[in-house]
Chains A and B, each alone.
Chain A
């Protein structure tokens, strides 16, 4: 039982990371329909941001975090501006921006591998290393930190979409780009901000997970796949779906690794099987998209 409760905390923490990556996808898919597979690499950039800010420069955590997220806001915005916008505006085939972003995935990854080398780099824990017990639930400081930050991000995103005019503008673009543009919504700004926000959320996921796994230039692709699995499970219609999907993927992974009588190598296949099953059986995800309604 103790064992299971321990697992609940660590599985929730990794579920939060997958949920954040799924949220990054969702922020970009909703207004543009573009699946940006480079989010995993943005997470990796966030993790390496942690290496530079906290291991090399030894900045205070809030300052370093703000700096990393500001830079990633710019990276996300610039990626949209340079790679995505020209394709969308000249009416290129639907897959063209996705393929261009796949090219960018390789560019981000290889730049980091050139700059930092192929070895994993340690990132210090923001709250030090220790254990915290809340009632029967116990886990590392980092696990609780990950969960707290993720909940705050999801709450903020939910409030943004539900309670602000800007959020409604995003929703309007998601429902019908053309009609939204005719209503005076600036499509370019919405798309640019969507990618910038995707960059911030993805980087946050990478930064939060980096003390546990170390920053490595190949960490992006697995995160991108797990995050996408979470997204597919939760469905792209609702913000909370991303978190739900992330938690489901993480619990499936942790529970099979701990209790299923299969070789540990095979547990790597769990999210992949989940992804294939959901894509084939229930591609719209578990949660039904909310009906359109006024603010």
Chain B
């Protein structure tokens, strides 16, 4: 993506923030954060091949640590952001070093256990985490005397999202992205080609988990309240479904999947109530059975057919 396109995306996504009402702004911000999470998880699962259910727990870790550092420890904002980022990266590293040795579903189960454990700790965390009620009654402190609120805070999220997109796209097209794909498809061959298996896996895990933590930091000030159920395993499943339905390993697919699955409940909610999750489950099974490349795969094959057909 060249500079003009990046700039264009920032302008368009930011401009939307100025025309939305309060409720729509709330939905829009959460949508942007979901897309950001999906992009990171797409790199981890779709490109590096690690089915890690911990991604959403890092979202929660980022949110909880920034709030605790700001509100309970009274750190200044820049320092708190740095400290929370370092904390997320350190926890991710501590998990990645042993966990990335596990293959396939064993990694999935170990990280699932970790994210369940995270919720258990949040619930039992007493005054530090606010227990089952979580934390609220905190606000984002002003930066240089300016209080980020309304559209200006949405712009912060837009910048984070576009930054994530650009970083992950650059990485995907670099030697690192190719090393990750090679590892996903055939670890032995990748190792034989000179890819450091352990280091590449750990790096992919730490990097994407830290990005999830940063999205979580932004999330903490969207509702100004955080509690354990938000970061439960349900949303970790939803994230996997977004990637599979959109198209595993494709950035565009991750964006489409996240937008579709986040907005679908708003559209079909009035028709089928809370049973939209059933639709998600059926969609996932259908996609895996019928078009493993997801929606982006359908789009590509339609386009290829249109190009082949005589005009």
- Cα distance A96–B51 in the bound complex, in angstroms: 11
Q: Which of A92, A95, A114, A283 contacts B102 (CB 8 A)?
A: A283
Does A98 lie within 8 Å of B281, measured CB to CB?
Answer: no
- Cα distance A106–B285 in the bound complex, in angstroms: 10
Residues 102-128 of chain A, each 1 if its beta carbon lies under 8 Å from chain B, else 0: 111111001101100000000000000
- Cα distance A166–B289 in the bound complex, in angstroms: 30
Asked whether any CB of chain A lies closer than 8 Å to the CB of B277, the reply is yes
Residues of chain B within 8 A (CB-CB) of A94 are: 104
Q: Which of B98, B124, B278 contacts A266 (CB 8 A)?
A: B124
Q: Is the interface of B mostly helix, strand, loop or mixed?
A: helix
Residues of chain A within 8 A (CB-CB) of B121 are: 266, 269
Does B106 lie within 8 Å of A279, measured CB to CB?
Answer: yes
Known A-B contacts A228-B109, A269-B121; the reply to A96 vs B292 at CB < 8 A is yes
Known A-B contacts A96-B292, A100-B289, A225-B116; the reply to A107 vs B241 at CB < 8 A is no
Q: Which of A95, A229, A232 contacts B104 (CB 8 A)?
A: A95
Find residues 108-142 in chain B having any chain A CB closer than 8 Å to their own CB: 108-110, 112-114, 116-117, 120-121, 123-124
Residues of chain B within 8 A (CB-CB) of A263 are: 124
Does B104 lie within 8 Å of A98, measured CB to CB?
Answer: yes
Does A83 lie within 8 Å of B285, measured CB to CB?
Answer: yes
B48 → chain A, closest Cβ, in Å? Answer: 13
Known A-B contacts A269-B121, A272-B117; the reply to A279 vs B109 at CB < 8 A is yes
Asked whether any CB of chain B lies closer than 8 Å to the CB of A289, the reply is no
Does A110 lie within 8 Å of B116, measured CB to CB?
Answer: no
- Cα distance A111–B98 in the bound complex, in angstroms: 38
Residues of chain A within 8 A (CB-CB) of B283 are: 103
Does A225 lie within 8 Å of B278, measured CB to CB?
Answer: no
- Cα distance A273–B120 in the bound complex, in angstroms: 11
Q: Which of B114, B124, B233, B284 contacts A99 (CB 8 A)?
A: B284
Known A-B contacts A110-B275, A110-B277, A268-B120; the reply to A280 vs B110 at CB < 8 A is yes
Asked whether any CB of chain A lies closer than 8 Å to the CB of B288, the reply is yes
Asked whether any CB of chain A lies closer than 8 Å to the CB of B237, the reply is yes
Residues 257-274 of chain A, each 1 if its beta carbon lies under 8 Å from chain B, else 0: 000000101101100110
Residues of chain A within 8 A (CB-CB) of B285 are: 83, 100, 103-104, 107
Residues 277-300 of chain B, each 1 if its beta carbon lies under 8 Å from chain A, else 0: 110111111001100100000000
Residues of chain A within 8 A (CB-CB) of B120 are: 265-266, 268-269, 272
Number of A-B contacts (CB under 8 A): 106
- Cα distance A85–B237 in the bound complex, in angstroms: 23
Residue of chain A at shortest CB distance from B276 = A110
Does A95 lie within 8 Å of B51, measured CB to CB?
Answer: yes
- Cα distance A269–B99 in the bound complex, in angstroms: 18
Residues 268-295 of chain A, each 1 if its beta carbon lies under 8 Å from chain B, else 0: 1100110110011001000000000000
Q: Which of B240, B277, B281 contacts A104 (CB 8 A)?
A: B281
Residues 15-36 of chain A, each 1 if its beta carbon lies under 8 Å from chain B, else 0: 0000000000000000000010
Find residues 2-58 in chain A having any chain B CB closer than 8 Å to their own CB: 35, 37
Residues of chain A within 8 A (CB-CB) of B104 are: 94-95, 98
Residues 38-71 of chain B, each 1 if its beta carbon lies under 8 Å from chain A, else 0: 0000000000000100000000000000000000
Does A106 lie within 8 Å of B277, measured CB to CB?
Answer: yes
Residues of chain B within 8 A (CB-CB) of A35 are: 105, 109
Asked whether any CB of chain B lies closer than 8 Å to the CB of A174, the reply is no
Residues of chain A within 8 A (CB-CB) of B112 are: 225
Asked whether any CB of chain B lies closer than 8 Å to the CB of A221, the reply is yes
Does B284 lie within 8 Å of A275, measured CB to CB?
Answer: no
Residues of chain A within 8 A (CB-CB) of B284 are: 99-100, 102-103, 106
Residues of chain A within 8 A (CB-CB) of B106 are: 279, 283
Residues of chain B within 8 A (CB-CB) of A102 are: 237, 240, 284
Find residues 41-97 in chain A having any chain B CB closer than 8 Å to their own CB: 83, 86-87, 92-96
Known A-B contacts A87-B289, A228-B109; the reply to A103 vs B282 at CB < 8 A is yes
Show 21 A/B contacts (Cβ-Cβ < 8 Å), sorted by A.
Answer: A83-B285, A87-B288, A92-B288, A99-B284, A102-B237, A104-B281, A106-B280, A107-B281, A110-B277, A111-B278, A114-B275, A265-B123, A266-B120, A269-B117, A269-B120, A269-B121, A272-B113, A275-B113, A279-B106, A279-B113, A280-B102
Residues of B within 8 A of A (CB): 51, 98-99, 101-102, 104-106, 108-110, 112-114, 116-117, 120-121, 123-124, 233, 237, 240-241, 244, 275, 277-278, 280-285, 288-289, 292
Residues of A within 8 A of B (CB): 35, 37, 83, 86-87, 92-96, 98-100, 102-107, 110-111, 113-114, 221, 225, 228-229, 232, 263, 265-266, 268-269, 272-273, 275-276, 279-280, 283
Closest 3 CB pairs of A and B: A106-B281, A103-B284, A110-B278
